[in-house]
Structure 1
Amino acid sequence: MEARDPGAFARFRRGDWSDLPGAESPAEVADRFTAALTALADSLGPGECGVAVSHGAATRTGVVAFLGWPLHVAQDLRALGNCGRVVLEQRSSGAWALAAYNL
């Protein structure tokens, strides 16, 4: 991509995917990921654990959205390593919290 379209590649590296052909916007990723995590969380009984598998960039953006944080915060999180995982825990209030990131 860098050789074919250096400008698009530079935008991609900055996380500006708004006009890249075929790319989802961060808001679209957040909506899709949040819907999936919400459905998974809603299907769990007391004490049960769920597992969602996704690509790192989608996970980073989606987790931020699921937790209700502003989407720009995702850019402040380090990219997930290969096979990295995120742990979310539900508090007694019902709210979700980030318990671990990039394990």
Structure 2
Amino acid sequence: MSFDANIVTQYYVLMTIKTFRCVDTETLFKLGRVARFVNIERPALRKLKQLDLARCIEDIRVPPANRLEILKGDRAGQHSIRINDQWRVCFRWTGTDAEDVEIVDYH
């Protein structure tokens, strides 16, 4: 099996998540396990990967179960997608990138 550096380079160019607001969220994304998120680990990772692969904010609208929302109040300027009824992935969208990504208990 050969290694194609161009493919790896292209993958890193496409990455959307630039910064994390929460250390546990970053650890889950990079290592796949965090005790705090053990009950939502698989769907949370799936949502983080979807966010990371998005090229524009419209890419996150699909699937509709993401329920992409523009947040208000003390979270004005942020968006969220649902992991489940209790948990959300919150982030700031800067045109082409996601920043300040965190998993939040919404209840």
Superposition TM-score, scaled by structure 2 size: 0.28
The structure with the largest alpha-carbon Rg is 1
Give the structure with the higher percent strand.
Answer: 2
Q: Which has the higher contact order (CA 8 A, sep 6+)?
A: 2
